[in-house]
Amino acid sequence: MRQTLFRIPIDYGLSAGPLGEISLFGFGLLLVLWALAGAWWLWRNREAVAGEAALLPSLGVWLLVAGVIVLAPWFVRRPHVAAEQQWTQVIEVRGPAISALLNRGKARVKLRDFDGAAEDFERALKVDPDSVEAHRQLAWLRAAAPVAEARDADVALDHARQAADLTQHVDPESLDALAAAFAASGDYEQAVRWGREAAMKAYTSRVPSHAAQVPDIRRRLALYRAGQAWRDETSGTSIPVFGYGFMLFLGFLIGGHTAVSRTRMARLAPPGEEKDLVWDLAMWLFFSGIIGARAFYLLQYHDRVFADAQSPAGYLKAAVNLPDGGLVLYGGVLLGLAAFLVFCRRRGISPLLTGDMMMPAFFVGLTFGRLGCFLNGCCYGDRCELPWAVTFPAGSVPDTALVGRGFLSPELQASISLHPSQLYSSFNALVLALLTHFYFRTRPKNGSVIALSLVAYPISRFTIEYLRGDEMGQFDTTLTISQWVSLGMFTGGLLYSAWLFHWPAALWKRGDKTDHPVSSPPGPSTGEPSPVG
């Protein structure tokens, strides 16, 4: 389940006085900021730009991002435009069939053509006056449209009541629409009543699509209890930016940036090419880490991920459905390690020195990644009564999990106070980032920072797991799968440390010069590198 951090509007207008309205202002503003950033970059590099072909890739990246910003709104609207055209052709060829009218009406809602959508739903009712779906769609449109001109609480109530009556008040979707209609009319007492009923019906339903609606129903129910009506602000108005993905990307950028200075110190690349080396390696680690983390998640939660898959295509779609979440750090570490070794071998650089250089960057990225977990609600903690306990909102990942596991009633508002285990993990990663960064300068041997990380991180992760509430014990024990992996990593870290610090000095002497720290000359004749100052 994805939690939205913020939305970028794509069709809100900005009044420009006598000049009229500037459309697409959200992405228009992004384009302006990106253009200013490009102009600033060109000014800073004005001396190198003239006749410098090496800068062309940077200009190409800038133009590519600008193109994405310009085309993003079009890509968002494109499938809905195509759907409207498709169903219009069907209606013209086969006549006003009810399914075609309903589908075109839904597409028009996404395109914010609310009058056209209402016309389609009303035409569907003329074809079949007892169409539950047509009544329900009209109720939602008139109760929750994002613009006041399209809302009509009385009409919404009329159609919502008919949908509920036609389904004998047992269909959670119809009851949910009825609650929204009462909220639109200002009768929040009835809205709460029918919202609670919808939540219970959805929770006890054997229809998977009904059970999947519990989080959204609880989210709307929380609004009704607060005296607020629900508005469908997502219909063609904005592009969501999800908290987890945003923080993961931010951690990737900042972590990579911090690695550049250590690359210069270690002389892993010729002067001026440090950034290229770092970002090439970062891309290898990023994509291999995502694949490994997803694969580990599929192994750990395969029953949950593939619960609704009915065909090979369904299994494939579920496996790659990253937007709905599902990554396990240890899986990313394992595959990332393999990619790291391949990269070092291809580049002919020391994996020990390169690993030492990248470990602080990894923990910086993890710091932001765990903040993303907090924003998303995943990796949540166990019950907590301490002053810093957190309570996640209705419909969030922890709230939905607690309802599904029977700790919360779907109709109740109150949630459970939990340990902010994501923040514990983020703080732990920040401490390890600082520790490994400063240890890099004083490490006795190349590979020492890796050894410290392989011992310190499993200890902290094993401990924090006791405060998490999202994982169950494995192998008939109370230990989670991450704790078992932590034990394995800790054991491997001890063995690696013993091997590293008892490694014969002659084996340190290599053909490449990257085994020698930057701030000191090469070590004695044994090949042992001098400590980094």
pLDDT-based confidence at residue 58 (cuts at 50, 70, 90) = low
Q: Quote the DSSP letter at residue 414.
A: -
Q: Check: CB of residue 108 under 8 Å from CB of residue 116.
A: yes
In a domain, 339, yes or no: yes
In a domain, 398, yes or no: no
Q: How many domains does the chain have?
A: 1
In a domain, 485, yes or no: yes
pLDDT per position as a tens digit, 76-109: 788 889 999 999 999 999 988 999 999 999 999 9
- Show Cβ contacts of residue 260 under 8 Å, excluding neighbours closer than 6 positions: 274, 275, 278
pLDDT per position as a tens digit, 394-404: 888 898 888 88
pLDDT score of 475: 83
Query: Cα separation of 504 and 512, whole Å?
Result: 18
Query: Cα separation of 224 and 438, whole Å?
Result: 52
In a domain, 279, yes or no: yes
- Residue 63, pLDDT > 90, answer no
Under DSSP, is residue 239 helix (H, G, I), strand (E, B) or coil? strand
Regarding beta strands 238-242 and 4-9, do their DSSP bridges make them parallel or antiparallel, or are they unpaired? Answer: antiparallel
Residue 342: count other Cβ atoms within 10 Å of its Cβ. Answer: 12
In a domain, 48, yes or no: no
- Residue 504, pLDDT > 60, answer no
Q: What's at 126, amino acid-wise? A: K
In a domain, 317, yes or no: yes
pLDDT per position as a tens digit, 257-313: 888 888 887 777 777 777 788 888 888 888 898 898 888 888 877 777 777 677 787
- The values of phi and psi at residue 4, to 5°, are -80, 130
What is the model's pTM? 0.78
What is the helix (H) or strand (E) element at residue 9, kind and residue range? Answer: strand 4-9
pLDDT score of 66: 76
In a domain, 86, yes or no: no
Domain region containing 372: 243-380+421-515
In a domain, 31, yes or no: no
In DSSP terms, which residues pair with 390 in a beta bridge? 418
